[in-house]
C-alpha cells in the first residue's frame, strides 16, 4: 500500500495544532489552512494545497464544518481521505458529523470520523492520547493509521462511524453537567453519582437514536467522557463551571451548541425520559439558576 505523504489540516486553532504535533512525530509534513489567514503563518491558497492532498483533516467546530468541507470540494482529489475531528451536530440538518459530512462529499470519497480522549492541550504538551478512527472503508483506515499512531498516541479503529460520532456528541453535553457540579463545589461522591446517571442516559439515548449503546462504554464514549468531564483542559467542563461562577448561559461550545439539536431529534416526549439531559438544558440553554435546579435534582434522586 502506498504511503500518504501529503496532508492538509483545515483549522489552525488548538485542535489543528495538536493534529500537527501528532503528524510531526511521524515525520509527516502538513499544510495548514484557516479561514482567518493570520492564524497560519505563510498560509497558501486552497487551490494550491488541496488538489495534491491525500488526506484532509478537518479540525474545525461542528458549526463550521459544513462551510469548511464545501469550500474545498472544487479542489478535492477523489481518492483523498477526509477526516472529521469535530464532535457536534450540524444545525441545518440536525445530523452528527458522520451523518452530515458524507452527504456533502462525492459518493465514494473515503471518510473517517475521529473520536476518543484527545484533549488538544495535553497532546501539544507531549502527553499521551487515544484516538478512535471510525470508517466503513477499511483501506482508508489502513492508510491513515500509520500517519498518527506512535508511542504517545494510540489509534483504535472501528467500522461504526455513526455510533462514534453520536457518543462523541453525548459526552460533550454530559461533560457540561460535571462542570456545573464543579462550579457548585459538589462532593466527589455526588459527581460519581452524576457520572453514573450520565452514562446510563447516554446508553439509552444511543439506543433510541439507532446507535450502538455499547459504544458509550468504549473509548469514544466513556473514555472521552471521563477525560472531558474531569479535565481542567476541557472546554465543555469549563462551560459548566462558567455557568455557575460567571452566571453565563448559551455559551458557544460543542456541548451546549449540540444540546438543542439533540433534543429536537429525540422529540420532547422522548427527551423528557432523560432528566439529567433536561437539567443541563434547563440550566445551560434556558438560563435557570444552577444551584436550586441541581439541588432539586439531587434531592429528588435524579427525577
pLDDT tens for 29-54 read 899 999 999 999 999 999 999 999 99
- 110 and 218 assigned to the same domain: no
CA distance 158 to 141: 9
Kindly write down the DSSP assignment for every residue of 117-153, as one continuous string: ---HHHHHTT--EEEEEE-S-HHHHHHHHHHH-BTTE
125's grid cell: 504538551
State how far the Cα of 281 lies from the Cα of 264, in Å rounded to an integer: 12
- Please indicate, yes or no, whether residues 167 and 220 belong to a single structural domain of this protein: yes
Q: Is residue 2 part of a domain?
A: no
- Tell me, yes or no, whether 167 lies in a domain: yes
**Cβ atoms of residues 33 and 44 within 8 Å:** yes
Is 55 in the same domain as 170? Answer: no
| 205 domain-assigned | yes
31 and 115 in one domain?
yes
Same domain flag for 118 and 198: no
Q: How far apart are the first and last CA of the chain?
A: 54
Whether residue 282 sits in one domain with residue 194: yes
pLDDT tens, 100-139?
A: 999 999 999 999 999 999 999 999 999 999 999 999 999 9
Domain boundary among 159, 188, 217: 159
| Residue 10, Ramachandran bin (φ over 0: left; ψ between -120 and 50: alpha; else beta) | beta
Which of 126, 159, 192 delimits the end of a domain?
159
Shared domain check, 169 and 148 = no
Q: What is the pTM of this model?
A: 0.95
For residues 111 and 17, state if they share a domain: yes
User: Is there a domain that residue 135 lies in?
Assistant: yes
Same domain, 147 and 166: no
CATH of residue 29's domain is 3.40.50.720
Count the domains in the chain: 2
pLDDT cut 70: percent of the chain above it: 99
Question: Which H or E element spans position 33?
Answer: strand 30-33
Domain membership of residue 1 (yes or no) is: no
**Residues sharing a CB contact under 8 Å with residue 88, sequence separation 6 or more, in sequence order:** 61, 62, 63, 65, 96, 97, 169, 172, 254, 257, 258
Same structural domain, 206 and 130? no
Whether the pLDDT of residue 1 is over 60: the answer is no
Spatial CA neighbour of 54 closest among 20, 18, 34, 28: 28
One domain for residues 169 and 155: no
Strands 30-33 and 55-58: unpaired
Cβ(234)–Cβ(119) under 8 Å? Answer: yes
- Domain range for 135 is 7-159
Determine the average pLDDT of the residues in 267-294.
Answer: 94
Name the phi and psi angles at 132, rounded to 5. -110, 110
Is the residue at 44 inside a domain? yes
Q: Let me know if residue 267 belongs to a domain.
A: yes
- 62, 89 Cβ separation under 8 angstroms: yes
Residue 199 belongs to a domain with what CATH number? Answer: 1.10.1040.10
Q: Can you give the pLDDT at residue 2?
A: 63
Burial of 149 (0-12, 13-18, 19+ CB in 10 A): middle
Residue at a domain's end among 159, 194, 218: 159
pLDDT single digits (tens) 213-252: 999 999 999 999 999 999 999 999 999 999 999 988 888 8
Neighbours of 77 (CB within 10 A): 14
Is residue 236 one of the residues assigned to a domain? Answer: yes
For residue 87, name the pLDDT band (cuts at 50, 70, 90). Answer: very high
94 and 216, same domain (yes or no): no
Amino acid at each position: 500500500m502506498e504511503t500518504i505523504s501529503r496532508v492538509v489540516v483545515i483549522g489552525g486553532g488548538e485542535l489543528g495544532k495538536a493534529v500537527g504535533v501528532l503528524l510531526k512525530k511521524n515525520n509527516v509534513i502538513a499544510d495548514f489552512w484557516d479561514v482567518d489567514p493570520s492564524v497560519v503563518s505563510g498560509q497558501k491558497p486552497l487551490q494550491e494545497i488541496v488538489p495534491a492532498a491525500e488526506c484532509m483533516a478537518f479540525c474545525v467546530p461542528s458549526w463550521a464544518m459544513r462551510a469548511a468541507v464545501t469550500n474545498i470540494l472544487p479542489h478535492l482529489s477523489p481518492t483523498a481521505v477526509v477526516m472529521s475531528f469535530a464532535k457536534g451536530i450540524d444545525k441545518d440538518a440536525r445530523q452528527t458529523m458522520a451523518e452530515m459530512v458524507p452527504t456533502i462529499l462525492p459518493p465514494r470519497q473515503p471518510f473517517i470520523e475521529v473520536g476518543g480522549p484527545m484533549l488538544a492541550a495535553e497532546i501539544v504538551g507531549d502527553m499521551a492520547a487515544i484516538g478512535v478512527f471510525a470508517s466503513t472503508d477499511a483501506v482508508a483506515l489502513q492508510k491513515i493509521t500509520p500517519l498518527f499512531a506512535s508511542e504517545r498516541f494510540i489509534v483504535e479503529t472501528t467500522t461504526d462511524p455513526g455510533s462514534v460520532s453520536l457518543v462523541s456528541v453525548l459526552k460533550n453535553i454530559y461533560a457540561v453537567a460535571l462542570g456545573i457540579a464543579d462550579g457548585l463545589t459538589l462532593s466527589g461522591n455526588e459527581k460519581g453519582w452524576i457520572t453514573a446517571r450520565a452514562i446510563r442516559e447516554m446508553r439509552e439515548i444511543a439506543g433510541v437514536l439507532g446507535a450502538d449503546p455499547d459504544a458509550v462504554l468504549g473509548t469514544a464514549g466513556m473514555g472521552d467522557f471521563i477525560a472531558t468531564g474531569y479535565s481542567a483542559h476541557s472546554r465543555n467542563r469549563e462551560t459548566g463551571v462558567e455557568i455557575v461562577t460567571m452566571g453565563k448561559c448559551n455559551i458557544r461550545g460543542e456541548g451546549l451548541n449540540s444540546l438543542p439539536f439533540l433534543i429536537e431529534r429525540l422529540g420532547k416526549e422522548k427527551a423528557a425520559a432523560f432528566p439529567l439531559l433536561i437539567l443541563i438544558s434547563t440550566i445551560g440553554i434556558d438560563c435557570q439558576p444552577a444551584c436550586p435546579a441541581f439541588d432539586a435534582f439531587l434531592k429528588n434522586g435524579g427525577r
